[in-house]
Amino acid sequence: MSGKTRLFILCMLLGKLVEQQRSNKMLEEGMALMDKALRLAMTPDQLRMRIA
């Protein structure tokens, strides 16, 4: 395998890794927003039960 081919494959893999990390970060942010929305929708009694 030539050096250019190896470099191309490495760049492709790094690109995929960056894409996956972005996706994971977006998923984490979405989950945090969902959790916040659920907490805002709960009554005070429901919040106390969840915290306990």
- The CA distance from 23 to 25, in Å, is 5
Which pLDDT score, from 0 to 100, does residue 12 have?
95
Which pLDDT score, from 0 to 100, does residue 25 have?
95
CB atoms within 10 A of CB 42: 13
| Spans of all domains in the chain | 3-51
Which pLDDT score, from 0 to 100, does residue 52 have?
72
DSSP codes, 3-41? HHHHHHHHHHHHHHHHHHHHHHHHHHHHHHHHHHHHHHH
CA 12 and chain centroid, separation: 21
Which pLDDT score, from 0 to 100, does residue 51 have?
76
Which pLDDT score, from 0 to 100, does residue 39 have?
84
Which tens digits make up the pLDDT trace of 1-51?
788 899 999 999 999 999 999 999 999 999 999 999 888 888 888 878 877
pTM listed for this prediction? 0.60
- The CA distance from 44 to 52, in Å, is 12
